[in-house]
Structure 1
């Protein structure tokens, strides 16, 4: 640990929660240098939907490297890029009746978000983007302006502008449709909300606390956008690539975003890769107008193609995700009813789930206790008050059960200790 303590920046975060030196990983498991085994319910914050070192992809990647395949080619045409585009079109876009142009951005999610907002502004001639409470879209300045979390925003060092913040679904209570508020302020010339270029939304807010928008709310949001001529951007960076059950998280709602951002598990193997999908009429870029040295990752093209071929050629993988998602939901609801005493709630969609805890301190104790028992799991939400379940989608049924059993055991022990605190000292999170 000495070298990390000596020269690695204080900005590190996950390393503080999981203070081990990891040196091997496979599927849903990781091992540290001492040989201790851990179940991984963090999965690279959603980057490893297909698990660590997936054998279905590894061979293709090794063959590509051994054959001196192009590693870096800027945005030049390569065989690997062409094969990815063809496979993505054949396996994902065409079966869903989706017609989009694909832009390769810099390799991370925030690069895709920056490009998406830039497209919307250039095409519409408007400057502001409508964003939502508890949204998270990245920490580069444009994406950060669209992000709600004050911990990240306060680190910017400059004023963040160019956005209008609107309450997300459920933010004002279960029975209040916040799209009606958006419609009202867009219809009122005295609302102070200038005509925006677009709305950017996550169908499930991952970092914001596993807040899942209802199908009806998403449909209403699209209707408001169409009514007022706003482009609809769906940030599917964490919720996409199968996390909620379908390849895109918005499929169940039947909406058609104008722009979609993808990253994280897009590359399949954990390799950096991000794209923007846009309706053809929005592709008004001039050559080189938006660029980046690492736009497109040829190694990730290879593994992304393999992921699409092996998991998305039929409906079986999607059905399996939904089945596991139902199991997770049932287990979490049972845990909440057994230990929560009305103070915990389960939330999320598909295999994107969380337990909303009493507060961040309690959630932190639960995840810390779980780590001691061999489970890597993180928290999310404004106050880190949600225990976030983000295991690989390919996890075995036995290990899925084992991981949730560990969380249940951790909750049981933490709740027992909380019960020992005098009642007047316990404060509950009401979110």
Structure 2
């Protein structure tokens, strides 16, 4: 096949009038005319110009290709530098956070040491007084004396914890060490359920109209006054669940190994509402204390701990403080981690002002209440708000490990059918002060 005199591409003789590659117009003259000197000269000039233009075009395309390669390489280098800068920032933030935590722990240990020293000195004084009064006598146990059971208030213990407040950028603006009272409910085999004392009070339940991400079912805001109660410090763990699930059945069977993510310190999940109620009944029978799921008002009051912001952390939330889908942001904070699974309870080593942890994210938490579309005619005393038995929908609070941050707000309300369970559904329990 003949080739184009400009670009050397093959073409079909007597068929192609133009080169399929460079669009060169082959000589439009009949063969005898091509022998005329003037036409030969004209064609030579035309061909020389076309070859020059083709060469310039090829050179320009090659330069453009090289420029594109260089631009792509520059973009890759810029991305690598941006990634390195972000990693450096995260490492700096982590180091700063670790330093703050260590300083807070050091302060806490110093306070505990001082308190222990005072208690030890007091015990020594009391022991010396007893020895002076009864130098010859040894303590004895009197037979047949009735055993006196201490009330919960007599068995209260105290613990310290760190509370952090954030601005809308996700930056800490306040950090303090608080104290709270609790009683450890012994479940057997050295397994305890820590129940934190929540003092009664009044709060505004629901969200204000200007809160970012609010939904209509969070209104109207209304005052609720609650008496004191106790609530579990963390969501029920798999260790606690297994211990109670192995107890004799009351109304329904409980699977001791039902969780999707398996670890003793992880919150139990895959729990439906009926399972959580059965857990409370077995726990009540074991301990002789009346346990139940929290009312929706009790849950929000305990979560807020006196705050009126979207989160008990303040104006926003970060994945350094809670387990949720941190690849999304709530306000003006930076993107964070999406762990794609539950985390051990208390692993963030932070709490709200009442001493409760894992209220935002990790697992949704069942409440005792039936689902209502809004707060119209809601009880003002913090009691459980029930509907007739035909309503099979129950309230969930707090968000889960897979949730966007807006679904983890203190006022956020969710629902599911009472017989449904998922890998992000757990619960905590309350004990009412009588």
Instruction: Report the TM-score range of the alignment, normalised by the length of the smaller protein.
Output: under 0.3
More helix by share: 1
Q: Higher relative contact order at CA 8 Å, sep ≥6: structure 1 or structure 2?
A: 1
TM-score (norm 2): 0.22
Higher Rg of the two aligned structures: 2
* TM norm structure 1: 0.22
